[in-house]
Structure formats: structure tokens, C-alpha cells
Structure 1
């Protein structure tokens, strides 16, 4: 009996030591926050989020602030939330909301698409201004910019003369390795080769027309990932967006059939350079095949050909989303949750997605483009 008692005591001691160690070692989310709550700050509904981060550690979240009701095209502001100096694991602190564009005569400012120019840190913001009565059609494109991490912004400039009438993203734009700034639109991309001074339209992608996201592949080509319902459509451009391949369905990436799909996020986590890292792409959207449910993030190790790793962010209602790579190598994500009740922010490490199989990279080897 004494031996049995000693054995039980030994087992309890082992559990007391090993269980906490196992919990400590188990990859987990770093933090999760209800960032924007519908009904607060005189905004009826927050929708259509996008997120970017700068090398100075500033994280910027843009979205539509629909003042009176949640319907598309209702009087809508463009709002911004910022968090400063995020270089380590400390919990992020968010600044008060900023109103970048405010509706005055019922107009709707929609589809925010930010891009960071890594040359000098300038942040560009592209927006579609819709007048009333609202129609879901191609419209003008306005451009704003900030040179102080989003604290202040220029007045909007209309760049439609160069781009033509377009519907933006929504989501984020990228900077290619050759310096070209690229923003996704419903029928392809628009771009600037002179650091935002002038903008042009690329060629139209055939057969599909909807919300899209773009990423540069390691061979310099562009991959456009397009909403269509059922499965995502994928087009490739090998000339910087001037021409596009015939889109093909990616059978690994479901797109809810409700509402003919849902916007998604696609970013580059890392690029293999000098043996320091691997080629990772990240993709997020509601993974339920029929409804906007179960926000999920996926990893591709082969430039989007396959998506073998998936991790559910949250069960239940989930809509539009956007991701960015933070300076410490963790991943920041914003998404619509709770049937448009909130814009939620979640931060996690790569090993949380993979169950510890891959480690997050530091800020010197990561890229969000």
C-alpha cells in the first residue's frame, strides 16, 4: 500500500510539473480584441476592414463606418484605428478612432485599400467615393497619403484619369520587388511606377469580375485571387498586371455560396532569401462552403499551388478579413465577426497555425507583400 501511495504521489508530482509545462509550450493566440463595435462612436455598423503594418511598428486598421444603417452604399465614413511601436510581444494599445473621410451629403466612401511604400514609409490609401443614389458599379478612385505613420493625411486626389472607373479590392495593396505599387480591383489591378505620383490600369482578367486580392510570387509574377462563390478563382500575370491568364478554380479554397462568395485576405508571410526563411503565403476567409461561418487561416508552402495547413480562428459568423505581418514576425488579422457586430483584431504566431511545426520569423526576414 505504501508503494502504491508513493507511486500515486510521484504521478501527481509529475502531472504538476509536466501539465503546466505542456500548456506553456502549446502554441496559442497572443491576443484577441473587439477593436470596433457597431453602435459606438456614432457609427451604426463597421464593415470592410483592412490592416497594414509599418517597419516602425505602427499598425493601421481601416474600415467603412456606416453611419445610419448597415446596407452597402448608405452614408459611410472611412475610419482608422492605430497602434504604435509594436516591436515585441507586449499587448497592443490602440489610439482613439480617426475619421479620414466623413459623409456630408449622404455619399458613401467605400472599399479602403492601403499600401505602404517601403522606400520612404509613405502610406497610400485608395478609396471609392459613391454618390447617391448608390449603385454597385465602377466609380472614381481617390488617393490619400500619410508621411507620419497615419497621424495626418493629405486631402484626397482623384486619380481616375489614369486608372479609369474601377471598384477597388477591398483589402490591401502591395509593393512589388521592383518598386511597383499595385492595388487590386474587380477586373485586375491598378499600379504606380513612380511612388504614387501617377497611376495606370492593368489589363482586364477574363471571365471573372469581383472582389480580389493580389500577391507577388517569387518568380515576379502576380497572382490574383478572386471571389466568385463555390471556390476561389485564380489568375496569373507575368508582366506586372498588363495581361492575365484565364482564371482557374482553386478547389482547395472554398468560397461560401451565400451572396456569391465573400471577400478574402491573401498575403506573403515570407520569401526565401539567402537560406534565412521559406516561401509562405497566408490566406483567410470563412471556410464554410455555404455560409459566412468559421473564419479560417491557411498556409501554402508552394506559392499557392496547395494549401495543406488550415487553422480555424473562430467558430460562428465571420465575414471580410485582412492580414498583415507584424515587425516581430507574428501575424495580425482583422475580421468581421458576430454578424457585423464587431471588427475583431487577433494576433497569433505562425506556430499557432501549424501546431508548432513552423516558427515565426523575425522582422528582418519577413515581408507582408
Structure 2
């Protein structure tokens, strides 16, 4: 009898000490396609949803995050778990230990059947830009059992630099990116420094740059290039310069930055210059609105086209030169830089994309060009109407392609597509490209276009066109890099790369970092301006 009783007690103890079953849990982990950014205090990389169909309440003891497949684990300085934007726990991976698996202690009491937790990650400031973060699986240890979850859509998350963030350097918002690579290999990132608010001109806005001499890993402090200060005794909020574009002269190494300057404002009711503006004035108008810019050349009639030059790799810049009279027909309402970067043609001609309003106020896209090394500039004729922001590339036959934001695409689901035109005579005449209005969709937003000449290990050259924009007809999200191997005749789906699925302002610019790498600066979901790199081999191996 005693032996039987002892046997029953041992069996009961054995059952009670067994790991509880987790069959009554259901769980999912979603990994959004967004870059993980250096210089951000935290980046959300996944959302975990856990449903308990069993006993309540219970405790989430810990979360094990498995990062097998991540290229460079040493870039990660912290892994955290959040609930409703509140950090519940974190772990700092220890140097020299296996970083593929980290465990975050939580001891979180749960009184509801549904629980949503976010996994966050922090990177060190100087990172390997080719790194990829891969979340293999998550293991949740609870008082009711252990739950192992594999992401529903595994994704390699790219890393990048949060180059410009809200209120950085006292700047409210940084917008309108430009990007170029100098003949010395320096990267120069260009942008609007909007000091007081996010709004477009008119406002206290300067055009500024950051420089990188190591391929985008580190960047110099912000530097002003176009700043009109208190010109004409008006406050800076009535001397804004915006919509910059940057160009590298591939022959001389000189750099050029253009920008649009507004002095004061024109009355939106009648187009007359508003007098007696001061620091407390609230009047506002914009060059693309109503009577925001008018025929004529005077600063009190029309917005002004400025250009500055650097002869020392962007370290110092000249005072701005006003070229409005060179590039704007007097009867036109406006001629303005189109944001992004310009190009140097094979014969040395310098070309900037441009946008404007004709003598009837109609919006157009075109180019301006210089055949004497940037001393004198001339405008082309309109390439298309009801368009504005645009970018140019030189095709293999020597012609110039202009890819344009088509304003009627806003909200258009049928017939949505960017306008594309080609010129063989520097914009004197244009012909519509076969892909115009039918190949590259948009939500009516600026987009970037860039030609990269890739040389493989055998010394063979291949020209690739790269295009970046929000791949959506309605919303500025799903930021996607697309590649054309045939001068823009086709943009095969296989050569598309989703970079950032979430919302952002959407403007961008692309440059060739080196033979094997392109860089993208864009207005994304995680920062005002994000810089990241993409390896050419990653793209062409899909051909």
C-alpha cells in the first residue's frame, strides 16, 4: 500500500514539473519592409501578435529573438521589446558572444487574451552599409508554455543612415534631396533646411549640404550653400531659397548648386508685391500658386533662379549668381530648378533639369544647359505640359531623356504613368518616348532617374538606368528602385527592389557611389532624409 501511494505521488510530481503545453496559443510575426537606420534611437523591425485561447491571466517571461542570417551582427547595439510605444525590456548584445540569438527578459503580466508587442533594434552610428538584418524566428517563454513563431513573410531588412531628422541642427524639417558624387569620390547630399516649418516657399529656407568622403558611412556637419539672409531688409522668412539641384562637372570637377529664391511675396489676389513685411507678418504665397510668380525679371515680379559654384570639392562655395535673365523668357511666370541632380554630357555640356510656368501660367518641364563650363546658361523648350519636377539622363545614342511628374496622375487609377520625352538637340525639339504615360506609375510626386555605367570583371561595360519613386497611384509609400537594362525601353518587374513600404514625403535622388554601388537619398518613413546603398551585382544577377 505504501509503495503504491509513493508511486502515485511521484507520478503527480512528474506531471506538475513538465513544461506546460502552448497549444492554446496562436501567434504571428510581421516584418515590414523598412530600412533599419543608424542615428535613430530605435527602429521597429517586427510586430508580434499573440492570442491565448487558454488559462488567464498569464505571464510573458521573456522573448528570444533569433537573427540567424544577419550579415554583420556587430552593427547591432540594442534589441528591445515595446508595447504601445513603451519599452518593456531590452538587451545589449555582449561583445564576443553569439549575437545570433538574444533574450529580452520581460516578466509581463497579461490579463487579456490578445497581446501585441513590437521588436525594436538600435544600430551603432558607423555601420556596414551593405549589412542586412534577418529575423529568423521569435520564441516567447510564458507561464503557460513556450511559443515559437516564424515570420509570415521573411524579409532581409536593409540598413541605412538617418541623415536628416526633425529638428536636427535646429532645422524643423529637411526636404527636397539632391545627391552627387564628385570627381574625387566625395558624396554630397543636398537639401532644403526649412528652419521654422515643413511648408514650401515662402519661408525661412536655405539650401544646405553634407559631405561624405567614405562612401556614405560618415557625414560632415551641415553646411549652407544658398542663403539670402535678410536681403533687401526683409526677414529671412521672406527670403527663402528652395528646390535645389546639384551637378558635378565630370571634366573640371567643379560643382554647381541651383536654387529658387523668393524675395517677399506677391499678393495672391492681384500679383502685386506686398509692402511692409516684417518678422511678425503672416502673409504667404507660393511660386506655383495663383500669382505666386509673375512675368518680368525684377525680384518684386518673379522668383529668381540662383546658382553657386565650388572649385574645391564642395568645401567652399561662391556667392550666388542670379541667372534668371539667362534662362527665363521675360513673359513667363516662372523658371525654376527641378530638384535632384544634373548631368554632364559626353561632349562636356552641363545640363540641369528645370520646370516653369509659361506666359499663360501653364506648368512645363524642360532643361537648361551650358556649353562653356557653367558661365552662361540657356533654356530648352518645353518637353511636356502639365508637368513640373523632372530628371534627365543621356542615353546611349547621345540623346537626353527627361522623366517628368505628370500632374494629372494625382488620384488617377486608369492611364496613370509618368511623362517621358527625348531630345537630340538640347531641348530645341522633343519627341514623346514609347514608355511615356504607360510604364512608371506615380501618385504625382517627384522621382529620380540616374544612369550608371557598370564595368564587370571582364571589362565589359553595361549602361543601366535606375528609377526611384513611390510605386503607387495614390499614396507616397512603397518606395521602389527600378532598373532598365535597355535605355528605359522596359523596366522588368524582376529588376524592382522594394526599399520602404511605409509612408514618407517621397522625393529622392540617386548617384553612383562607385562602379559596384549606387546610393539613394530619399524622404522615407524613418527620417526626413535617408541614405542607403544598393550593390549593382544584386540587381544584375536577376537578369
Report the TM-score when normalising by structure 2: 0.57
How many residue pairs match? The answer is 328
Match of 1:338 among 516, 520, 525: 525
Query: Residues 65 and 214 from structure 1, CA distance in 2 versus in 1: closer, same or farther, beyond 3 angstroms?
Result: same
Aligned to 1:13: none
Query: Partners in 1 of 2:71 and 2:264 — Cα distance?
Result: 54
Distance 1:311 1:269 in 2: 16
Q: What is residue 76 of structure 2 aligned with on the other side?
A: none
Q: In the TM superposition, what whole-angstrom CA distance separates every residue of 1:248-283 from its partner, at most 9, and x where no partner exists?
A: 634221111xxxx00000000117899621121000
Q: Are 1:284 and 2:468 matched, yes or no?
A: yes
Segment drifting more, 316-325 vs 275-284: 275-284
Which residue in 2 is equivalent to 1:92? Answer: 217
Counterpart of 1:270 in structure 2 is: 453
| 1:162 pairs with 2:313 | no
Is the 2:369–2:379 Cα contact (8 Å) retained in structure 1? Answer: yes
Q: How far, CA to CA, are the matches of 1:20 and 1:70 in structure 2?
A: 40
Seen in structure 2, the aligned counterparts of structure 1 residues 194 and 320 have a Cα distance that, compared at 3 Å, is: same
1:38 to 154, 162, 166: 166
Deviation larger for 272-281 or 283-292: 272-281
Partner of 2:287: 136
Task: Report the Cα distance in structure 2 between the residues aligned to 1:78 and 1:55, rounded to whole angstroms.
Answer: 22
The worse-fitting range, judged by mean Cα deviation, of 228-237 and 146-155 is 228-237
Q: What is residue 66 of structure 1 aligned with on the other side?
A: 194
Partner of 1:181: 350
Residue pair 2:307, 2:322 contacting (<8 A) in 1 also:
yes
Q: RMSD across aligned C-alpha pairs, in angstroms?
A: 2.4
Cα distance change on mapping 1:203 and 1:44 into 2, 3 Å: same
Q: 1:80 aligned to 199, 209, 216, which one? A: 209
Taking the aligned partners of 1:21 and 1:109, their CA distance within structure 2 comes to 46
Deviation at 1:130, TM superposition (A): 1.6
**TM-score, normalised with respect to structure 1:** 0.83
Contact 1:122 1:146 in 2 (8 A): yes
Q: Which residue of 1 aligns with 2:49?
A: none
Alignment pair present for 1:317 and 2:445: no
Mapped partners of 2:175, 2:537: distance in 1: 29
Q: What CA distance in whole angstroms lies between the structure 1 residues aligned with 2:315 and 2:430?
A: 37
2: distance between equivalents of 1:206 and 1:253? 16
Deviations 1:204-246 (A, max 9, x none): 1243331111111010111110001231001111112221124
- Please tell me whether residue 195 in structure 1 is matched to residue 396 in structure 2: no
- Higher Rg: 2
Higher relative contact order (Cα pairs below 8 Å, separated by 6+ residues): 1
Distance 2:459 2:530 in 1: 35
Q: CA deviation at 1:328?
A: 4.5
Give structure 1 stretches of 5+ with no counterpart. 1-18, 359-369
> Any conservation in 2 of the 1:59–1:84 contact (CA below 8 Å)?
yes
User: Tell me, what secondary structure is at the counterpart of 2:501?
Assistant: strand
* Distance in structure 1 (CA, Å) of the matches to 2:179 and 2:514: 14
| Structure 2 CA distance for partners of 1:241 and 1:271, relative to 1, 3 Å | farther
Structure 2, unpaired ranges of 5+? 1-66, 73-129, 133-157, 266-284, 294-302, 329-333, 356-364, 410-415
Counterpart contact for 1:55–1:327, Cα < 8 Å: no
SS at match of 2:519: strand
Whole-angstrom CA distance in 2 between matches of 1:209 and 1:158: 24
1:28 and 1:348 in contact (8 A); partners too: no
Find the aligned partners of 2:467 and 2:307 in 1 and give their Cα distance: 26
